[in-house]
Structure 1
Amino acid sequence: MTLNSTQSTLNILRNIHPTFMHLQLFIESNDNSLTDRYVNAINNHNNKLLNPNNQHIDAGFDLFVPEEIICPSDQTARVDMQVKCSAQIISSFAPTRNTGYYMYPRSSISNTPLRLANSVGIIDSGYRGRLMGKFDARQNFVVNKFDRLLQICAPGLIPIYVELVNNEEELGETERGAGGFGSSGR
């Protein structure tokens, strides 16, 4: 999407949802099938958001597991989602500002032996590294490629507009950068 068409879409959204989160998502993978999954998911998600008659907006945006992962029961398994994000709160009532967001397990995770090790991921507004989840398993478990274990949720569960960006630089540079999982202190 071009800058002008993105700005036009954001202006339309302001008329439908006075406050929402603009999530920019960069896929750090050469897997075209992963990109295709995200393109379809983003289009479906945003089309619901842009429909002024839709009274039931999804609270989260699902992330796809990019490759098969084996989660052994005797250790914590790290799942690299191979995406990087930035987010801004856009409001008709206040200036646009960068925001942190949350990474929650999807409710369907209860059908697996997996549990997100830290219960919820709190992603700081300045973090630009890959999103990852660490999972504990009650028994050995295979996570299939394209399974959806995690979802991104905005502060206050406000609607999320998702934009797929073509390069990492579009996410913006920050002082924090890509350090994750305890990199900002004990």
Structure 2
Amino acid sequence: MNMTSDRVAVQVKIKKLHPDAVVPKYARAMDAGFDLVAVEDVLIAPGQSAKIPTGLAFALPEGFELQVRPRSGISAKTKLRLSNAPGTVDAGYRGEVCVLIDNIRIPSAERKNSCLDAGEKETPVEEPVDPNSYLIRKGDRIAQGVIAIVPVAQFAEVDELDETERGAGGFGSSGIQG
């Protein structure tokens, strides 16, 4: 681990498992995440989930994880959601990184056929396809990855926990007004 322009830099080894896999890179110098790209076409019907392969395996150093997060443009413009966001790729895992995507769209008679392309805009899909399906195409940027430091917790069982202002309040205990 070293510092690069005031940021921690860590070497992450990547193995291409598919000839069309795209080795990640940061789009801008201060970006936290890098794009993960699909290596095959996958059609996701409404209410269905799919595992989208990236064609990449990572060797993360001990003490780090790869978080797989949604891309904001996809979440804003479609009904595609990551099933387990953020997903975690542990440092000990050496298999292919895939992205679990749900199509949460509810079928609607007035919806036209659409798909998701690399530009994240909707374009026509060839018939016959359920009009509420999404086609992830080979080369689409489907998620983003963030490398994060993972501390190891040292658990200590106690009879009492210290008091705080919040206490045991959760799930809306602070209200909804700002």
**Greater RCO structure (CA 8 Å; 6+ sep):** 1
**Aligned-pair CA distance for 1:75:** 2.0
Deviation at 1:102, TM superposition (A): 0.5
Q: Percent identity?
A: 26
Q: In the alignment, what sits opposite 1:117?
A: 83
Give the equivalent residue in structure 2 for 1:53.
none
Measure how far apart 1:106 and its partner are. 1.1
Cα distance in 2 for residues equivalent to 1:143 and 1:21: 31
Distance 2:67 2:12 in 1: 12
- Contact persistence 2:40–2:53 (CA under 8 A): no
- Which structure shows the bigger proportion of residues in helix conformation? 1
- 2:138 and 2:35 mapped to 1: Cα distance? 14
- Contact 1:108 1:149 (C-alpha < 8 Å) held by counterparts: no
Q: Equivalences for 1:1-186 in 2 at 5 Å?
A: 14=3, 16-17=5-6, 19-30=8-19, 34-35=20-21, 37-38=22-23, 42=25, 45=26, 56-88=29-61, 97-110=62-75, 111-137=77-103, 138=105, 139-155=132-148
Quick one: structure 1 residues 72 and 99, their matched pair in 2 at CA, closer, same or farther if it must change by over 3 Å?
Answer: same
The CA deviation at 1:22 is 2.3
Q: Which consecutive residues of structure 1, in runs of 5 or more, have no partner in the other structure?
A: 1-9, 49-55, 89-96, 157-186
> Which segment drifts farther, 17-26 or 72-81?
17-26
What per-residue deviation string (whole Å, max 9, x for no partner) do you get for residues 38-66 of structure 1? 3xx63xx39x6xxxxxxx51101111111
- Aligned-residue RMSD, C-alpha: 2.4
**Long gaps (5+) in structure 2:** 106-131, 150-178
TM-score by length of 2: 0.59
SS at match of 2:11: strand
Instruction: Name the CA distance, whole Å, in 2 between partners of 1:106 and 1:18.
Output: 23
- Maintained 8 Å contact 1:27/1:83: yes
The structural deviation recorded for 1:105 is: 1.1
> 2:68·2:85 contact (CA, 8 Å) conserved in 1?
no
